[in-house]
Structure 1
Amino acid sequence: MNSKYLLLLFFTWVSFSQNSDFPSERVDSIVKRIQLPVIPAYQINVLKLGAKGDSITNNKKVFDKAMALCKKNNGGTIIVPKGIYKINGPIHFVSNVNLKIEKGAKIKFSDNPKDYLPMVLTSWEGTMLYNYSPLIYAESCTNIALTGEGVIDGEGGKTWKTFKAKEGEGKNRSREMNHNSTPISERKFGEGYFLRPQMIQFLNCKNILVENIRIENSPFWCLHLLKSESITIRGISYKSLNHNNDGIDPEYAKDVLIENVNFDNGDDNVAIKAGRDHEGRANTATPSENIVIRNCNFKGLHGVVIGSEMSAGVRNVFVENCKTAGYLKRGIYLKTNADRGGYIKDVFVRNIKLDEVEDCLYMTANYHGEGKGFQSDISNVHFSNITCKKASESGIVIQGFADKKIRNISLRNIEIKSAKNALSNENAENVVMTDVFIGQRAGVPSAVSKP
């Protein structure tokens, strides 16, 4: 090997080592440019408009009127005081509005699907289409907030729950339309297709705050940040254990701060997505990027997930100072397959404390073994200062393809005290491990025994 090649190898190694440190200055830059919504001084209390927090009266018209008054006044705060407010249908935001649900207040949505018609532009598992309205919905709004210490109940455990077993036809139709580039205006679902709506969705919105509220009993994904940017999610909590109850789903989202969240979900806590298959790959100009997740308590299926719908690409994800507060199947989970294409890169994870999980750190390019022709590119993923009490299955899993290897993975200061399978590293290159312990640490070697 000549000296020129050795020098090149040295500089490559130094560069990779430097880039594997957690880049706090990049996190600070993202957080600094995220703007909180600016809300005008106008306020309206829903009780003054005739609302009744008796858990029986339908307050749909009152909440619509409150939103219309805010629009007339160029924005304002809608105050929901103590009580249980039944609403038979969705709340649709306008710009410059804070919906403040005070402590002791609960908004309880109906579970009659007809209440969420007419259909609106939305997305379902990575494909844009028209479907039932999300329960709380904003499209093309700026400066919007959902705050207070109250509860939003999506009533997802009865009628909506039955949709899961019947969603196959609608799901397959949506994917065919995605693959065939069917115009979005022709992608009409709603009645007869059983695709459940999200609890809260912000579509094409900017300067968003969701703070301190509690989310319970969602029909589908809980909080969907779709094609939106400059987003702050903090201090919220969950108890939502129905099918596909992801906590937070940033999708085609940019500049997102998620902090101090207490998760308790029937699916992923945070699932970062970026569109699906052909449609996602056509939107590479809008990847999900610049996402900061910190100081959260994980409980549910998986902690932080990237994928599987990530075809436009995911980059610049920073996860730090999080821990488990109960059961978690997988801690950090990167999942994609040969249908997706796109990329996952520049992911930094540090200071994570996991209790008992099935798998601690899991990266796979062969999720469900599906697809062909569009292998994803996974590179530059860095883990440091991670502890796990027990992995009942695998400690660390890395699965690439022989002709599309996962690249540039660093693992530093990782301690998994017990694991059925310690390490599975397949079709990966430049995997650097420093101070990685799986199982009991080896001590000083013993002397040779005397015969």
Structure 2
Amino acid sequence: MKYILLLLISWSCLAQKNEFPTAKVDSIVKRIQLPVFPAYQVNVVKLGAKGDSITNNKAAFDKAMALCKKNKGGTIVVPKGIYKINGPIHFVSNVNLRIEKGAKIKFSDNPQDYLPMVLTSWEGTMLYNYSPLIYAYECTNIAITGEGTIDGEGGKTWKSFKAEEGPGKNLSRDMNHNNVPLKDRKLGEGYFLRPQMIQFFNCKNILVENVRIENSPFWCLHLLKSQSITIRGISYKSLNYNNDGIDPEYAKDVLIENVTFDNGDDNVAIKAGRDHEGRANTATPSENIVIRNCNFKGLHGVVIGSEMSAGVQNVFVENCRTIGYLKRGIYLKTNADRGGFIKNVFVQNIQLDQVEDCIYMTANYHGEGKGYQSDISNIHFSNITCNKASESGIVIQGFPDKKIRNISLKNIEIKEAKNALSNENAENVLITDVFIGKRATVPSAVSKH
């Protein structure tokens, strides 16, 4: 009798751990602080900006930022019109860039306009490169708000960089692996590494709300080494190469909600540095990230990896659905070059239409690497529906000597799939009420001859 009781207790504990931890989500959201701004306001038109889509308004926007700095912060108002800016916007603390309805900021696509180089990160490696189009470094209390549009003009010159980026990309990875000092990692001109559209780097108390993001050169919204971040109500149409929607990297306490994605790559890609450099930063994993009430459209919905070498933990995804094509719904990807960990991921109430793969977890992404296998554990999926997976319903791929562990799949229905379930090198996988393909009913009676 004691044994039965003990077994019941252990199973009930496991079941409780698998429940979506709403209290934990609430505590993260409560801890995130929205930015606050002084009353000072400046309208760019009053500083000489012209919303005629031709005039270069760089000087007017720079002057507005300088006036805000002088007044210890404030709001920069961008009224209706199309404002060409030949070069980046560099934030200072305590500033809200408010792009009003009918207003569009249209950046130039001349790479020279984004020099001198700034300290940034490119696919998980810290280096000096072209400035992101909107760049905030070591700022507190900053926001981009309003119902206007930011256009990165990424479809021409920047798009052409993709075919040329190989040598620069490989050099950046060599610098990472060989611990080249940061001051010597100068890429920029001649290396063809495209800049991010918006990057918050070492910032705190950030809000991006209701704006529309279009035509980014590279990643759209990069949350780098920043914390206390709210992204809500924004929308996208950005279909160039590598146009991830939101990339939290070494980011902490992040709320992403009510976002309408339409991206040429991942909608949300949670990252935490690449390889040696990432593993040296295990004190700052990406953690406490809440993604809810979003509409997915693009390559993949929510991705963790593949650059996640400092670790990713405490990710909560709920109440999201697709509004168009998605290759994969939820995608955890790492390989034996990365190391680090992915743990404590909870996903619930997801509605997918047609995908290639519904849920995909792999420790062997692209079959690359050796020596640094990642630790993937405590991953929980519940209440997920999918109309059709043209390839696989659920894929779990660990290594024989480094298994993915403690996975729960509960209340999942995938109505049609070419391959139902592929589960290799995983342990303690709990499957409850999972239906892939047509649901079985009562067994038929023995036929009469």
Give the TM-score normalised by the residue count of structure 1: 0.98
Shift of 1:8: 6.8
Which residue does the alignment assign to 1:446?
444
Which residue does the alignment assign to 2:195?
197
Which residue does the alignment assign to 1:258?
256
State how 1:280-299 maps to structure 2 within 5 Å: 280-299=278-297
Quick one: percent identity of the two aligned structures? 85
State how 1:301-340 maps to structure 2 within 5 Å: 301-340=299-338
State how 1:199-278 maps to structure 2 within 5 Å: 199-278=197-276
Which residue does the alignment assign to 1:164?
162
Provide the C-alpha distance between the structure 2 equivalents of 1:343 and 1:98, rounded to a whole number of angstroms.
36
Among 171, 175, 178, the residue aligned to 2:176: 178
Provide the C-alpha distance between the structure 1 equivalents of 2:62 and 2:384, rounded to a whole number of angstroms.
47
Provide the C-alpha distance between the structure 2 equivalents of 1:215 and 1:19, rounded to a whole number of angstroms.
38
Provide the C-alpha distance between the structure 1 equivalents of 2:247 and 2:13, rounded to a whole number of angstroms.
32
Shift of 1:449: 1.1
Provide the C-alpha distance between the structure 2 equivalents of 1:252 and 1:345, rounded to a whole number of angstroms.
15
Provide the C-alpha distance between the structure 1 equivalents of 2:447 and 2:122, rounded to a whole number of angstroms.
65
Provide the C-alpha distance between the structure 2 equivalents of 1:114 and 1:299, rounded to a whole number of angstroms.
33
Provide the C-alpha distance between the structure 1 equivalents of 2:6 and 2:308, rounded to a whole number of angstroms.
33
Matched AA of 2:421: L
Shift of 1:19: 0.8
Provide the C-alpha distance between the structure 2 equivalents of 1:185 and 1:320, rounded to a whole number of angstroms.
41
User: Does the 8 Å contact 1:139/1:204 carry over to 2?
Assistant: yes
Which residue does the alignment assign to 2:96?
98
Shift of 1:7: 7.3
User: What's the secondary structure of 1:22's corresponding residue?
Assistant: coil
Provide the C-alpha distance between the structure 1 equivalents of 2:80 and 2:25, rounded to a whole number of angstroms.
38
Which residue does the alignment assign to 1:57?
55
User: Does the 8 Å contact 1:416/1:439 carry over to 2?
Assistant: yes
Provide the C-alpha distance between the structure 2 equivalents of 1:147 and 1:16, rounded to a whole number of angstroms.
43
Provide the C-alpha distance between the structure 1 equivalents of 2:44 and 2:272, rounded to a whole number of angstroms.
37
Provide the C-alpha distance between the structure 1 equivalents of 2:141 and 2:356, rounded to a whole number of angstroms.
41
User: Does the 8 Å contact 1:16/1:408 carry over to 2?
Assistant: no
Provide the C-alpha distance between the structure 1 equivalents of 2:5 and 2:248, rounded to a whole number of angstroms.
41
Matched AA of 1:411: L
Give the TM-score normalised by the residue count of structure 2: 0.99
User: What's the secondary structure of 1:267's corresponding residue?
Assistant: coil
Provide the C-alpha distance between the structure 2 equivalents of 1:224 and 1:11, rounded to a whole number of angstroms.
44
Provide the C-alpha distance between the structure 1 equivalents of 2:371 and 2:9, rounded to a whole number of angstroms.
34
Provide the C-alpha distance between the structure 2 equivalents of 1:8 and 1:109, rounded to a whole number of angstroms.
64
Which residue does the alignment assign to 1:379?
377
User: Does the 8 Å contact 1:135/1:200 carry over to 2?
Assistant: yes
Task: Please report the RMSD computed on the Cα atoms of aligned residues, expressed in angstroms.
Answer: 1.1
Matched AA of 2:250: Y
Shift of 1:18: 1.1
User: What's the secondary structure of 1:359's corresponding residue?
Assistant: strand
Shift of 1:234: 0.1
Which residue does the alignment assign to 2:140?
142
Shift of 1:293: 0.2
| Closer, same or farther: CA 114–430 of 1 in aligned 2, 3 Å | same
Which residue does the alignment assign to 2:340?
342
1:325-345 Cα offsets, whole Å, 9 max, x none, are 000000000000000000000
User: Does the 8 Å contact 1:256/1:290 carry over to 2?
Assistant: yes
Provide the C-alpha distance between the structure 2 equivalents of 1:353 and 1:286, rounded to a whole number of angstroms.
32
Which residue does the alignment assign to 2:74?
76
Shift of 1:185: 1.0
Which residue does the alignment assign to 1:406?
404
Provide the C-alpha distance between the structure 1 equivalents of 2:273 and 2:9, rounded to a whole number of angstroms.
36
Which structure 1 residue ranges, 4+ long, deviate > 4 Å from structure 2?
6-12
User: What's the secondary structure of 1:360's corresponding residue?
Assistant: strand
| Closer, same or farther: CA 7–284 of 1 in aligned 2, 3 Å | farther
User: Does the 8 Å contact 1:143/1:207 carry over to 2?
Assistant: yes
| Closer, same or farther: CA 407–80 of 1 in aligned 2, 3 Å | same
Provide the C-alpha distance between the structure 2 equivalents of 1:209 and 1:44, rounded to a whole number of angstroms.
19
1:261-315 Cα offsets, whole Å, 9 max, x none, are 0000000000000000000000000000000000000000000000000000000
Number of residue pairs aligned between Structure 1 and Structure 2: 449
Matched AA of 2:291: I
Provide the C-alpha distance between the structure 1 equivalents of 2:177 and 2:14, rounded to a whole number of angstroms.
37
Provide the C-alpha distance between the structure 2 equivalents of 1:405 and 1:169, rounded to a whole number of angstroms.
35
Gaps (5+ residues) in structure 1? none
User: What's the secondary structure of 1:61's corresponding residue?
Assistant: helix
Shift of 1:450: 1.5
Matched AA of 1:363: M
1:105-164 Cα offsets, whole Å, 9 max, x none, are 000000000000000000000000000000000000000000000000000000000000
Provide the C-alpha distance between the structure 2 equivalents of 1:179 and 1:15, rounded to a whole number of angstroms.
42
1:192-241 Cα offsets, whole Å, 9 max, x none, are 10000000000000000000000000000000000000000000000000
